[in-house]
Structure 1
Amino acid sequence: MTTLEVLAFDADDTLWQNERFFRLTETAFADLLSDYADPAHLTERLLETERRNLARYGFGIKGFTLSMIETALEITEGKAPASVIQTILDKGHEMLEHPVELLPHVAETIQSLKGDFRLMVITKGDLFDQERKIALSGLADHFDGIEIVSDKNPETYRNVFSRHGVTAENAMMVGNSLKSDVLPVLDLGGWGVHVPHSQTWVFEHADPPQSHPRFREIDHLGGLQGVLKSLG
């Protein structure tokens, strides 16, 4: 068997809570504009705007906030009160300042793996926000490399692994997104471990490759040690 050298982890909704705050803000946004449209319709319109803006703003809270403002202006035909725009901005600021909440079993699992493998974080999103969360997580010192990227695809992973002197065949990526964390690394010949999160963003959904020999799924990060032991 190929020697496993690197364990790479996604950050948002793998190491700490993230999507939950987006959904809470989305609910507040729908309530804010309830006089103009049905909440379900607002959610659909916001999702359409986010999809359209990914190429402009990328992933993260700032793009989400701009998409909320754009949706509010569209729904109200440009008549959204300044107070509504201000409230949306305030919600975005709250998200950017929210404390980091580690998910269960994360701290002890990362600590237990240090020294046995080279540990990395490979995450996408806004640079400043991701740097803030990594710093506040208390985990930064356990990682040998931290990569914040604009998107996750096979080429992204190939370049990241190459910069760190490892091939995908010797790496394992662990994350909550099948689309971004697991499938691209499997395509390169690496290992992919899916850790489902109850609120994974709809854009990150994909079918699990159950028959792939290097695919694994665990209920929480505490199950990773069992996966590693099973590989011999």
Structure 2
Amino acid sequence: MTPGRQSLIFDADDTLWENNVVFERVVDDFVEWLAHPTLDPVAIRTLLAEIEEANIVAHGYGSRVFLRSLADCFQRIAERPMDAAEQRRFDRFADAFSHNEVELIAGVADVLDELAARHDLYLMTKGKPDEQQRKIDVSGLAHHFRGIDIVPVKDPATYRRIVADRGLDPDRTWMIGNSPKSDVVAARAAGLRAVFVPHPNTWAHEHADLDASDPMIVRVDSFPDLLRHF
């Protein structure tokens, strides 16, 4: 590690608090509700993943886009719109995203307390601004960060813009997150260093191969392990 004070940029969903597990529970309930006579659950999930990918490109990230994908999946399979009773049942899937609480991942608050005494902490999360801001507010973690950015996508251009806007030194800036694709690969492509913090429920769309020979990618087993490196 480079000695001295570093700039640490943290991902939010599934790095600081649980997120994808909520979506997975809704998918499980949705597939069970469909109970399709010929399509098995794997086929339904495959179709849903394809629809999600298209909707992400067209509409971005967030629970509203996810619910849209579920509705599109229903219509694709049923080959008709929902009737009134089905719509009422479908509306209950949105309840999973309407609560005003988040579940912090173990050790997050204490680790951020300690790291903030030695380094400059930032938060960068992608999604709909109102949805992500609500989770940030409810988390009680905002005071740890010198800056917070909610972005529509995490690609190399986004990282370069954030670094330039905040006057950060790429050689002393680390992106820390659970998503290989957007937290590690994209950050490294922008010239930043990266820490991969694995999560068992990382979204399938965020999977990517990491370069095992890259010395500027650090892997830890859990969030508290960051204290061994920073």
Quick check: TM above 0.5?
yes
Once residues 67 and 108 of structure 1 are traced to their aligned partners in structure 2, the CA distance between those partners, rounded to angstroms, is: 37
Question: Alpha-carbon deviations, 1:156-185, whole Å to 9, x = none?
Answer: 001011111113222001000111001122
In 2: Cα distance, 1:201 partner to 1:116 partner: 31
* Correspondent of 2:111 among 109, 112, 118: 109
1:6-29 Cα shifts (integer Å, max 9, x gaps): 100000000000010000000011
Matches within 5 A, 1:47-196: 47-97=49-99, 99-196=101-198
CA contact (8 A) 1:195 1:219 kept: yes
Report runs of 4+ in structure 1 exceeding 4 Å deviation. 1-4
Taking only the aligned residue pairs, the percentage that are identical comes to: 35
CA distance in 2, matches of 1:135, 1:98: 10
SS in 1 for 2:148: strand
Distance 2:36 2:210 in 1: 40
Give the unaligned 5+ runs of structure 2.
none
- Number of aligned residue pairs: give it: 228
Indicate the larger mover: 117-126 or 17-26. 117-126
Equivalent-residue separation in structure 2 for 1:98 and 1:136 (angstroms): 7
CA distance in 2 between partners of 1:181 and 1:167 (Å): 18
TM-score by length of 1: 0.93
Shift in Å, 1:188: 2.6
Of 102-111 and 92-101, more deviation after overlay is shown by 92-101
Q: Distance in 2 between matches of 1:217 and 1:161?
A: 22
Cα RMSD (Å)? 1.6
Question: How many Å separate the matches in 2 of 1:209 and 1:52?
Answer: 28
The farther-off stretch of 93-102 and 187-196 is 93-102
Confirm or deny that 1:26 pairs with 2:27: yes
Provide Cα deviations, 1:111-155, integer angstroms capped at 9, x if missing partner: 111132111111101211110110011111111111010111111
- Aligned equivalents of 2:170 and 2:5: distance in 1? 10
